[in-house]
Amino acid sequence: MSKARPTPRPTGTTRIQREKRQAIFDAALDVFSENGLRGATLDAIAARAGLSKPNVIYYFEGKEAIYKELLESLLDIWIAPLIDLSDSHEPIEELLAYVRRKLDMSRDMPRESRLFATEMIQAAPHIRDVLSGPLKALMDEKAALIQSWMDAGLLAKSDPYHLIFSIWATTQHYADFDVQVRAVLGGQDPFDSAPEFVEILFRRMLTP
């Protein structure tokens, strides 16, 4: 019997472990969402977490491990709204609620949005399997649901997949391109006017 590692990595059971790991995750979310995996440094993460670099390594295998675990832990949160999209006798309201929720997430979780955006732009090497596996399956399911609404005449006909893409695109745009949006709008807060606009956009798109 051989021990692979003299001090096994903490799994996060005790209070102090949970807190420190969370602090690292939080700092890593800042740093990774600003610079991507390659552009981020352990020093930056450690500094922002208020820990020493070796201490960070004590809790995680390394930079890439932090990134991977962070991505995976956020994936569930990120696709939850789509999972919750379910059959309804008012499909337009159901979809508009989904749009609203996605827009709220752009406002309240911009770092998460940018993290995923950067990962996607860089060809998603760490979550490719999730995209073509579970996410595709989820999309197929929801696209079928939307298609059934369209077939029933409750929704204007269009391509369900591209419809979801357009919802993702328009809502996440306010998180990912926040700087640009704010620069162009001057001092005005985008999230004051965006909800009304996206509601109009998708209501017109969806109403038969």
Residues that bind DNA (CB under 7 A): 7, 10, 14-17, 20, 40-43, 51-55, 57-58, 62-64
Q: From the list its own copies, DNA, none, which binds 9 (C-beta under 5 to 8 Å, kind-based)?
A: none
Applying the rule CB under 8 A, the residues between 71 and 110 that interact with its own copies are none
Minimum separation from the CB atom of position 5 to DNA (A): 10
Q: From CA 47, how far away is CA 27, in angstroms rounded?
A: 8
CA angle, residues 122, 112, 52, in degrees to nearest 5: 90
The residue within the footprint of its own copies, chosen from 57, 78, 161, 191 (CB under 8 A), is 161
Residues in contact with its own copies, shown as a per-residue x/- string from 110 to 139 under the rule CB under 8 A: ----x--xx-xxxxx---x--xx--xx--x
Q: Which two tokens stand for residue 96?
A: 């508009």
Q: From CA 48, how far away is CA 186, in angstroms rounded?
A: 30
Q: From the list its own copies, DNA, none, which binds 15 (C-beta under 5 to 8 Å, kind-based)?
A: DNA
Q: From the list its own copies, DNA, none, which binds 7 (C-beta under 5 to 8 Å, kind-based)?
A: DNA
34 touches its own copies by CB under 8 A: yes
Which one, 50 or 208, has the nearer CB to DNA? 50
Using the contact rule CB under 8 A, the part of the chain among 15-23, 54-62, 96-104, 197-205 near its own copies is 197-205
Which one, 10 or 75, has the nearer CB to its own copies? 75
DSSP the chain: ---S-SSPPP-S-SHHHHHHHHHHHHHHHHHHHHHHHHH--HHHHHHHHTS-HHHHHHHSS-HHHHHHHHHHHHHHHHHHHHHH----S-HHHHHHHHHHHHHHHHHH-HHHHHHHHHHHHTT-TTTHHHIIIIIHHHHHHHHHHHHHHHHTTSS----HHHHHHHHHHHHHHHHHTHHHHHHHHTTS-HHHHHHHHHHHHHHHHH--
177 touches its own copies by CB under 8 A: yes
Residue numbers at the binding site for its own copies (CB under 8 A) = 33-40, 114, 117-118, 120-124, 128, 131-132, 135-136, 139, 156, 158-159, 161-163, 165-166, 168-170, 172-174, 176-177, 179-181, 183-186, 193-194, 196-198, 200-201, 204-205
